[in-house]
Amino acid sequence: MAIERWEPFREMVSLRDAMNSLFQESFIRPGAPLSDGGSVTLPLDISESEDEFVVKASLPGVKPEDVQITAHGEVLTIRGECRAEEESKDKHWHVRERRHGMFQRSASLGAPINADKAEASYDNGVLTLRLPKSEEAKPRQIKICGPSQAQVGQTTAKH
């Protein structure tokens, strides 16, 4: 048996390694089977244009009638349920990784939307929402009056 010299710095973790470990343990990735609360995570893609938001949610195996979509001001909420296959006594599972259970995801869009004109489609397990912005949320251009125009407006107001 050889004697090995103890190096205290060998056991120290670099700050980068400690932070990487902290982030890996703190956040749930979309591929994680279940969150701690027993609900399924719902990955979203949200994009914005001048007139609308487009939200895409991955919902493989979920029936459209099992999904509820609500909008309140600028907050969008998608909730539903992924149903598991019926258990049978003659089946013995070797691997069971497909997710099932309740899911809910809320996202603040940053601007109110016009829910009356919203469109939802579902194709190949992807829910796509087109959410037009409300008129108050759309950008407006403000024209600048030059000094001569401002004086003209003032002289007409005095007469």
Q: Please, what are the domains in the chain? A: 39-84+98-137 (2.60.40.790)
pLDDT for 120 equals 94
Look at strands 119-123 and 67-72 and give their pairing. unpaired
* Percent over 70 (pLDDT), the chain: 73
Please, which pLDDT band fits residue 149 given cuts at 50, 70 and 90?
A: low
pLDDT for 148 equals 67
Structure tokens belonging to residue 34: 């279940």
Question: Residue 31 carries which DSSP code?
Answer: T
Structure tokens belonging to residue 81: 């349920």
pTM here is 0.59
pLDDT for 27 equals 54
* pLDDT for residue 127 is more than 80: yes
